């Protein structure tokens, strides 16, 4: 991919528009500016301006990311935490936001509902294999193993 040259001011204008459409994080902005061939010192200046003017806010981004991945993708704590770490956030920023959010939702119920729904779509008759597939599904969604096991036991006890 060829890089497009932009001046600092042009980049700032485009990034203001980019950040206005939805929450963005520092790594999203850095990727854009790298593709525009903007030096690292200019990148840091522009990012600081975006933060100062309220276009970029890590706390707001983390909260939006958690909400979106939970409600739309049905991800669990483990997968959400992992993906936020990949975006460059620290545990000290992630954990309080996760705790606050997950204290306000019915997390266990959502996991049990998702596993019960998945159980209906599994074609295997053997109970051991069904349980195994459900636990594997739970892990792929980022659900804690203990909660997944409890829900699977509950499904098969019914």
pTM summary value: 0.89
CA angle in degrees (0–180, nearest 5) for 33-34-37: 90
Share of the chain above pLDDT 90, in %: 85
Note the pLDDT tens digit of each residue in 106-148: 999 999 999 999 999 999 889 999 999 999 999 999 999 999 9
Note the pLDDT tens digit of each residue in 1-13: 456 777 888 889 9
Note the pLDDT tens digit of each residue in 66-119: 999 999 999 999 999 999 999 999 999 999 999 999 999 999 999 999 999 999
* 47 CB-near residues (< 8 Å, 6+ apart): 26, 29, 30, 56
What separation in angstroms does the CA of 122 have from each of 77, 89, 118, 148?
24, 37, 7, 16
């Amino acid at each position: 991919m060829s890089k497009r040259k932009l001046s600092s001011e042009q980049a700032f204008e485009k990034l203001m528009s980019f950040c206005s459409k939805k929450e963005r994080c520092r790594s999203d902005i850095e990727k854009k500016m790298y593709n525009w061939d903007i030096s690292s010192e200019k990148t840091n200046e522009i990012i600081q301006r975006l933060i100062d003017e309220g276009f970029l806010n890590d706390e707001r981004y983390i909260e939006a990311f958690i909400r979106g991945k939970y409600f739309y993708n049905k991800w669990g704590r483990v997968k959400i935490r992992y993906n936020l770490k990949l975006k460059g956030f620290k545990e000290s920023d992630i954990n309080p936001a996760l705790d606050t959010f997950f204290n306000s939702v019915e997390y266990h119920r959502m996991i049990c509902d998702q596993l019960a729904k998945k159980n209906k779509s599994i074609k295997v008759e053997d109970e051991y294999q069904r349980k195994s597939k459900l636990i594997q599904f739970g892990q792929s969604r980022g659900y804690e193993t203990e909660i997944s096991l409890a829900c699977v036991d509950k499904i098969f006890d019914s």
